[in-house]
A and B are shown apart, each in its own frame.
Chain A
């Protein structure tokens, strides 16, 4: 997928003016955070489990090579194959070669963010295959030729009317006058169509929430059951996973699972948690004859050992998106690439480079909620600040912004000058705004006043008041 992160400002502005999108975001807002809170209230050890989860990931990343090789050995021992892919190109080519080897035509797919990252559907279609997304949300956006706008609820930006419209446009074999006003009717229609896809698919492609070194198992969680049908019915299963997904043991997976669904949807556990080890065995009546795991690097080994290594603990729960005021205002598409929200604003520059993505770390108020809710305690605000520093140091950003920041740094670095400048400024603004208590327009600050009033300062700076109060207390 071609990144549109470089036009974030314009994307965001368009998103704010997009009424159906704003209605969808309003519907979405609050739902998951409230459910998450309720789930955590039922689990007093949640914070301690976060520490345990973080410790598992840190211990694994500290010996990532050893755990990956152990995972590989176990997959091979179970009769499966492991393919190490350095970048998206290599992963795409490997998947295409495997599908050719399987003589595939139809390929079912269960939602995978790695699949989005390597744009596997486009590559498969270009190679002459028919990939069919089976997660309901992914199926909807595939029909609409859109990218997911959320990492766990990909079609969250759409209304049921928009979904119905897409179903009518694509399901041309069905009676045109059929009722499609309710989600139930749309689900039943999709279920019937996708059931045929499951039964006829030659290859099933899934992602993985975890890889287990102890057993060579891949772990997949879903609520719909689509991933299980995707992986059980075709004659070949391909699992696409990035290297940081490995955990040492089944017990470690259990700890992460206690965090994942609660953080994501507020469920205690997703409906289906599936541990898969190798292909169909001797007398098995179902399951794929061939089992392949793609291990994707695509920039992650470069992150290891650097200032963004902790990002590799991410379990893709989406809690940081659900709690982000910026994501809630503009939705996922504005971020311009695969991963939106705070985690995306850290991951995207790391995976595809800071040039052309440097607006993303600025698309944050640094309010800190993302770090507060992150089950893996990833210091997202610190990383966003680091990326801002990196972008400034490499000469990124528009000239007026750079000049403004340089002027600010000059003043802020000299306390006497800062006190003088803010003292004078606040006094003048206080005098000017005395009458109304706020400014509806202010020269040089139109970016602020175009959309909201600027409260008039009281006439004295915070520093002055602080000194006075502390002096009085003493």
Chain B
């Protein structure tokens, strides 16, 4: 950091501390305040985050925001469902998907061209696997990683997401708790995407249009057995 940048930082912090009526915090003060970050706790969770039938709730909420859903028995049913989804949408049989052993081991139809890697211009459909589904708003939660590049969620016009039913939680807070369990406290993937329906805009005369810059279609495949 340059001297000027250092000075700006110090001046901003000093002004904040002046406004708060105290000097720079002691280590003890700091530790006490940051306890909130060390042991995060949920605020009020609305009742709709605590429904009994989370699967039905997830499907209803996702469809309210123009996502489409399908229910499959398990992984082996994925290739046929994907092929059918592409053909129903009038898309060519080409798919860019996450690099996932559970997908790689499936029997993909010969006439469906499947590739992994990040999305590139011209990719029209992608397939990703959700870390969680959040029932309160029909939201899918995806984590970026070398095998699951974030561009897959945004560049193609159709985004197909696999969501194991056991990964559906009630509220946002449950999803955060599961993420901490999976990766460790305070560890975040580079990008966490919460996606609630397909891309949209209403910037021209409040006319709602789907497919602004991101996918025009969001299709969620729920897996009973994962």
Contacts and interface: CB of A to CB of B under 8 A. Distances in A.
B226 interface: no
Interface residues of A, number: 106
B113 to A, nearest CB: 19
B25 A214 contact: no
A160 B36 CA distance: 48
B37 interface: yes
B43 A251 contact: yes
Interface in A193-233: 194-195, 198-199, 213-217, 223-226, 228-229, 232-233
Contact of A136 (B20, B137, B212, B214): B212
B131 interface: no
Contacts of A275: 188, 191-192, 194
B204 interface: yes
B195 A64 contact: no
Size bracket of the B interface? 35 or more
B176 A254 contact: yes
A233 B196 CA distance: 22
B154 A297 contact: no
Contacts of B29: 66
Q: Residue among B15, B25, B205 with the most chain A CB within 10 A? A: B205
Contacts of A301: 12, 15-16, 19
12 contacts: A27-B205, A42-B48, A140-B204, A195-B213, A229-B154, A254-B176, A265-B202, A268-B137, A269-B196, A271-B198, A284-B149, A304-B16
A285 interface: yes
Nearest to A274: B193
A285 B44 contact: no
A107 interface: no
A272 interface: yes
Contacts of A69: 13
A229 B212 contact: no
Interface stretch (B72-80, B104-112, B138-146, B160-168): B138-146
Interface of B: 5, 8-9, 11-13, 15-21, 24-25, 29-30, 33-34, 36-37, 40-44, 46-48, 61, 65, 117-119, 121, 136-137, 139, 144-146, 149-151, 153-155, 171-173, 176, 186, 188-207, 209, 211-215
Nearest to B20: A305
Contacts of B146: 281-285
Nearest to B187: A215
Contact of A302 (B15, B188, B213): B15
Contacts of B197: 271
Q: Which 8 A-B residue pairs are closest in the complex by CB-CB distance?
A: A225-B214, A305-B19, A224-B212, A137-B203, A283-B146, A304-B19, A254-B172, A301-B15
A43 B194 contact: no
B46 A43 contact: yes
A194 B201 CA distance: 14
Contacts of A269: 137, 139, 194, 196
A305 B21 contact: yes
A226 B188 contact: no
B204 A56 contact: no
Interface string A68-102: 11100010001000011110001000000000000
A63 B33 contact: yes
Contacts of B47: 44-45
